[in-house]
Structure 1
Amino acid sequence: MTEKNPNSFLNFVAALFLMGFLVFVLIELQSILLPLFIALIISLVFMPLYRFLNSKKIPSALSIVIIILIIILVSNVASIFIFTSMNSFSSEFPKYEQKVIYIFDNITKTLNISESEIQTFSNNFNIKSMLADGKLTATITNIFSGVTSLMGNYILILFYIIFILSEANSIKLRISRAFSEEKKITVTKTLNDIFKGVKDYISGKTLLSLSQAIVIGLILWICGVDFYFIWAFLFFITDFIPNVGSLIASVMVAIVMYLQFDNFMTPTIILVVLIVIQNLKGNIIEPKIFGAKLDLSPLLLLFSLIFWGYVWGIMGMILSVPIMSMIKITFMNIPATKPIAILMSNNADNIK
């Protein structure tokens, strides 16, 4: 027993160094790896369309061109709406900053807070200066930077997609020639499971998030809430961030509503309706659609959210679920790592 201890310690140290090295590589090569992961996931989503076009005797090159044109059209239309709304947001939001300053002054007068106490508080948490300098507007605007920064990698992502799709037709032939019959079955099953798992998650999640965003946008528009399109888009994007995404969007829209409306009841009712919609989707509709397909531990999702957020920022948070799903599926199909996949699962009874 004692003879194994040195080896066990060395293995543990080696594993720590390996993990640290991987984190270092992920951070340092973010500009290359993040667009690659995004392109891979987009390619998996469009793979059924690519195969459908191929089945209709459309050449692979033309099929790829059609898919790229669809991606460019959708992304450009979305970008126009986003940037137009953000310009409106940036120009109109300072009036809310002034209102916050006005409210802050009224609170200090009502509570009879002395100038010295205000000064002490301001030194520790300089709200008034932050608002007066326009920093609150900049902070809220920067929340979208994780998404809009993708425009800088736009061409690179498109190139990745072209190469991934162009390789799709030949991958099966290369697998059959590279591996023995037994390993070929395992590799093919792993790739098929990853493809189906990511495709089902992305397509289902996108449809649900888009439906929720449209409903929320309509409600906010009917109720006369400012920047309703931005909030709808924010709910759509943050819904891909597990656990905290919808909370972030709800808090932000609540702040603006309470500043916009002169009464307390109207924004409260709207906020309650939004929370009900999110809970219906998250606790009833979403589990029925995904069922046990995702089956990732909530604690694992929380840690993966923190980890990928640290490594790749906002986009890392959005990609955390697909990445962990791909890792779990891969581990499930390798006997040596199957115990890790079981630990990653939320319900071990679903694992065969």
Structure 2
Amino acid sequence: MTLQRAALWAIVIAATIYLLVAGRGLLMPIVLGLVLWYMVDALADAFEQPRLARVHLPRPIALLAAVLVIGGLFWVLGRTIGSNVTAVIAASPNYEKRLQGLVTAGAKMIGVEQAPTLGELFDRISLADTLGSVAGAAASVVSITGIVLIYAGFLFVEQAHFGRKLAIVFGHDAHQARVRAVLERIDREIRSYIRIKTTLATATSVLGYVVMAWVGVDFAGFWAVMLFFLYYIPTVGSILAIAAPAILTLVQFDHLTPFLIVLLVIGTVQIVTANVLEPALLGRSLNLSPLVVIVSLIVWGTIWGVVGMFLCVPIMVVALIVLAQFETTRPVAVLLSADGEIPEQAP
């Protein structure tokens, strides 16, 4: 019986992974639409709560304010990234010359007399294929953006009737209360994770921008935006957030002082926020095993690319809470947890 159950679980997991990979083009816009809906809804809830002078915003006004804020942020980020990409292309000859000098110096250090040129290193790359891939990716992003907005809009329409549908499906009061308790716990954990992550990501990006602007690093605003997004990717994101600005600084300047300043300051900020502040603020709310986080990062990154890397932790939090609600899957939830303490079953 145990072998049969293990075989059944193996088949279910394999089929699920296959569907996630094969249906990536269909599922990813839906998931991104769900994420966008959730962000707008959470921000609208924050606006709706009484703040200064106990002013209570009506739901439509709070929702409109949330849409404007999220849309404005995406517009600013898009303009920042777009303008800096153009500037990077214009400055690329200078970086190429500096990078060639670093390659030559590195080759001499290891005893290679004739250092390869950048053209020799990248002669296998087809410019036409590269430009075609970039154009295809840009067109794909534009098309997905429209679909994501459509899905998010319909989710807001569906939200108005979701509570009534839930009451009809789970007619028994006990079942309905249990489902609502699980959904409320998932909502509470995810909102806490997003709030803390966003606060720390903003702090790291602002500090990074101040340091890079003070040193004189090119495109400091662009790299500050990258620091913000990379903070949402566990472990790997912190490493990239330290390495990318430091390498750019090394290529840009002829001496090591700016490189060391950027490396040490941004590296210290990333290490302190990711390893000291974040665990202290999140506490036991997530309680995911670090090994599970790394494995989920690799798995979801392989399945859904960068989007999967951003969503791997929220997905595993939802999985942990749901698996903890059933006796047959509670052992799996224990294995996913950091210390074996998992959420109690909803009454």
- TM-score bucket (shorter structure): 0.7 to 0.9
Residues 254, 271 of structure 1: 8 Å contact kept: yes
Q: Higher relative contact order by CA 8 Å / sep ≥ 6: 1 or 2?
A: 1
Q: What is the rounded CA distance, in whole Å, between the counterparts of 1:91 and 1:133 in structure 2?
A: 23
CA pair 342-28 structure 1, distance change in 2 beyond 3 A: same
- Per the TM alignment, residue 301 of structure 1 is displaced from its structure 2 partner at its CA by 0.4
Alignment of 1:1-352 (within 5 A): 4=1, 8-51=2-45, 58=58, 67-108=66-107, 113-115=112-114, 128-130=119-121, 150-179=141-170, 180-349=172-341, 351-352=343-344
Deviations 1:291-348 (A, max 9, x none): 1111111000000000000000011111111111111122223333222222211122
Q: TM-score normalised to the size of structure 2? A: 0.84
Aligned length: 333
CA pair 335-107 structure 1, distance change in 2 beyond 3 A: closer
* Amino acid of the structure 1 residue aligned with 2:19: V
Q: What is the rounded CA distance, in whole Å, between the counterparts of 2:84 and 2:331 in structure 1?
A: 48
CA pair 69-185 structure 1, distance change in 2 beyond 3 A: same
CA pair 178-275 structure 1, distance change in 2 beyond 3 A: same
- Per the TM alignment, residue 107 of structure 1 is displaced from its structure 2 partner at its CA by 4.6
Q: What is the rounded CA distance, in whole Å, between the counterparts of 1:282 and 1:261 in structure 2?
A: 29
Q: What is the rounded CA distance, in whole Å, between the counterparts of 2:112 and 2:154 in structure 1?
A: 65
Residues 331, 341 of structure 1: 8 Å contact kept: yes
Residues 68, 158 of structure 1: 8 Å contact kept: no
Residues 44, 199 of structure 1: 8 Å contact kept: no
- Per the TM alignment, residue 127 of structure 1 is displaced from its structure 2 partner at its CA by 5.4
Q: What RMSD in Å do the two structures reach over aligned CA positions?
A: 3.2
Q: What is the rounded CA distance, in whole Å, between the counterparts of 2:275 and 2:75 in structure 1?
A: 33
Deviations 1:99-154 (A, max 9, x none): 22233334545766355xx6xxx6xxx85523679999x99xx99x9999644311
Mean CA deviation greater in 290-299 or 39-48: 39-48
CA pair 86-317 structure 1, distance change in 2 beyond 3 A: same
Q: What is the rounded CA distance, in whole Å, between the counterparts of 1:279 and 1:147 in structure 2?
A: 33
Deviations 1:60-110 (A, max 9, x none): 6x7655544443332122111111111111221332222222333345457
CA pair 26-69 structure 1, distance change in 2 beyond 3 A: same
CA pair 53-113 structure 1, distance change in 2 beyond 3 A: closer
CA pair 341-228 structure 1, distance change in 2 beyond 3 A: same
Q: What is the rounded CA distance, in whole Å, between the counterparts of 1:169 and 1:154 in structure 2?
A: 24
What is the identity percentage for the equivalent residue pairs of Structure 1 and Structure 2? 24
Residues 77, 225 of structure 2: 8 Å contact kept: no
* Amino acid of the structure 2 residue aligned with 1:239: Y
CA pair 86-36 structure 1, distance change in 2 beyond 3 A: same
Q: What is the rounded CA distance, in whole Å, between the counterparts of 1:36 and 1:203 in structure 2?
A: 23
* Amino acid of the structure 2 residue aligned with 1:12: A
Mean CA deviation greater in 339-348 or 68-77: 68-77
Q: What is the rounded CA distance, in whole Å, between the counterparts of 2:124 and 2:213 in structure 1?
A: 30
- Per the TM alignment, residue 257 of structure 1 is displaced from its structure 2 partner at its CA by 1.1
Deviations 1:186-243 (A, max 9, x none): 1101111111111121122112101210110111001101121122111111111111
Residues 288, 338 of structure 2: 8 Å contact kept: yes
CA pair 106-46 structure 1, distance change in 2 beyond 3 A: closer
Q: What is the rounded CA distance, in whole Å, between the counterparts of 2:289 and 2:90 in structure 1?
A: 43
* Amino acid of the structure 1 residue aligned with 2:288: L
Q: What is the rounded CA distance, in whole Å, between the counterparts of 1:351 and 1:159 in structure 2?
A: 35
Structure 1 stretches lacking a partner, 5+ long = none
CA pair 54-241 structure 1, distance change in 2 beyond 3 A: closer
Residues 300, 309 of structure 2: 8 Å contact kept: yes
Find the residue that maps to 2:329 and give its secondary structure: helix
* Amino acid of the structure 2 residue aligned with 1:320: C
Residues 42, 191 of structure 2: 8 Å contact kept: no
Q: What is the rounded CA distance, in whole Å, between the counterparts of 1:340 and 1:111 in structure 2?
A: 50
Structure 2 stretches lacking a partner, 5+ long = 51-55
Residues 35, 157 of structure 1: 8 Å contact kept: yes
CA pair 276-106 structure 1, distance change in 2 beyond 3 A: closer
* Amino acid of the structure 1 residue aligned with 2:92: F
Residues 305, 320 of structure 1: 8 Å contact kept: yes
* Amino acid of the structure 2 residue aligned with 1:197: E
